[in-house]
Chains A and B, each alone.
Chain A
């Protein structure tokens, strides 16, 4: 009789899920958990939280800066390459040198993440939906939900509804008002464009457009002024990631209420809570990470500066982490 040590892998329970690997990382799932194995250790996350975070990271193309799945595991976007890390922004891991970081081509990591979503998201579970709107992700493998996981982030070039730009969401094209926005006014603005000025004289019902979003915590660009982007999103329950931006971003709370936990970007130490109600505007400094809680589905405008030179300027200290001095 002999026993074989199997520290670096799960006991196969015949649940039907594949393991997914890239570099020194290997991901396995069971009925309740995602297990992340890396040289020197392992990390474990509830599979529902893991899949919701993974979905955002993939759909956003690794987003701006750091996407923390929790306080240990995540990705840093370098716009072409991505760092995947364990403990990089965790004081305990860093001070004991237990952190682990590998760099990948964005397209390679995206492919592995997409395969993992395809394999691990069961029929009936939509990782973009609020928990009250979808089924549970637990248990053995059961079908898939390809349609839900292939949604792309929507981006307007100039403004939603302009000829040739991002179109409206309507009942007819599969975007009804969300159950929690049944009382949003759907009236249309009056638009009187003289002939030849239809591409310039333009207005639309922004609240109605956003209230028909079928996803949560997924900013989509509605209007642009050069690199200034209004990214509108409907929020409900918890932001599935903790975002550590590589630049300053701003929030404009358009309806209802979100409570934000603000922690230090590098260490994760709590710094503040920001309570935002309709009409409130707040900056998110470049040296923090934030996670939001939206008790009712709410409309949030995330205001981003898409200037590609900014990450280096903030990282080098050339720009201060806060946006205004007074």
Chain B
């Protein structure tokens, strides 16, 4: 039986690897660490840490209560640190056009039907279903979410700040 411990990162304690270049530019790998990114982000800033044409993955610092967000397509949120609630509302009137891609930040909680809520901890993945509005709430210490979505109005791109640029 193995005695090796599983190593998880967290906001408080993470190690970062690196691109060790032989004949290459480290920028080709857009190498970053989600805990490092979240440690310098504003609460719920949706910082892109991966981009594959229109698709992105975003690292979010989950701290306190987020704005209400909505999206016309499914998204997914993986909790990498902390304990975070997600509250869902089915808006009476769609706040986002059906063909619009990416997350939209709402100015307030939309009028609608309460769909329920989930509480996720490290390693848990929650669905952010198409057409719903949702809000993150992290009452305790700050956490980290990794969101799988499409590049949208709320996505923040600051690659030069977060990625390894030098060999």
Within 8 A of B (CB), among A195-227: 197, 199-208, 222-227
**Given A200-B88, A224-B74, A225-B74, A278–B119 Cβ distance below 8 Å?**
no
Contact of B116 among A159, A194, A255 (CB under 8 A): A194
**What chain B residues lie within 8 Å of A208 (beta carbons)?**
123
**Cβ of A282 under 8 Å from chain B:** yes
CB distance from A323 to the nearest CB of B (A): 5
**Cβ of B108 under 8 Å from chain A:** no
Cα(A280)–Cα(B146), bound, Å:
12
**What chain B residues lie within 8 Å of A247 (beta carbons)?**
52
**Cβ of B2 under 8 Å from chain A:** yes
Is A201 a contact partner of B88 (Cβ separation < 8 A)? yes
**Given A194-B116, A197-B90, A296–B31 Cβ distance below 8 Å?**
no
Is A270 a contact partner of B23 (Cβ separation < 8 A)? yes
The stretch of A104-112, A135-143, A182-190 in contact with B is A182-190
Is A274 a contact partner of B73 (Cβ separation < 8 A)? no
Chain A positions 122 through 134: 1 when the CB is less than 8 Å from some CB of chain B, otherwise 0? 0000000000000
Chain A positions 259 through 303: 1 when the CB is less than 8 Å from some CB of chain B, otherwise 0? 000100000011111111111111111000000000011000001
**Cβ of A147 under 8 Å from chain B:** no
The stretch of B3-11, B60-68, B91-99, B135-143 in contact with A is B3-11
Chain B positions 12 through 35: 1 when the CB is less than 8 Å from some CB of chain A, otherwise 0? 001111111111101111111111
Chain B positions 127 through 147: 1 when the CB is less than 8 Å from some CB of chain A, otherwise 0? 101001000000000000010
Chain A residue at minimum C-beta to C-beta distance from B167: A272
**Cβ of A94 under 8 Å from chain B:** no
**Cβ of B49 under 8 Å from chain A:** yes
A interface size (C-beta, 8 A)? 77
Cα(A281)–Cα(B14), bound, Å:
13
Cα(A170)–Cα(B81), bound, Å:
24
Cα(A187)–Cα(B79), bound, Å:
13
B interface size (C-beta, 8 A)? 73
Cα(A53)–Cα(B19), bound, Å:
26
Cα(A274)–Cα(B19), bound, Å:
4
Contact of A278 among B8, B113, B115 (CB under 8 A): B8
**What chain A residues lie within 8 Å of B160 (beta carbons)?**
326
Q: Which residues of B contact A (CB under 8 A)?
A: 1-2, 4-9, 14-24, 26-36, 49-53, 55, 57, 59, 73-76, 78, 80, 86, 88, 90, 113-127, 129, 132, 146, 148-150, 157, 159-160, 163, 165
List 14 other contacts, CB 8 Å, given A202-B126, A222-B125, A280-B16.
A179-B1, A191-B116, A201-B88, A207-B122, A208-B123, A226-B73, A272-B26, A273-B19, A276-B17, A278-B8, A281-B34, A297-B2, A321-B28, A323-B30
Q: Which residues of A contact B (CB under 8 A)?
A: 158-160, 162, 179-185, 187, 189-194, 197, 199-208, 222-228, 230, 247-250, 252-257, 262, 269-285, 296-297, 303, 305, 307, 310, 319, 321-324, 326
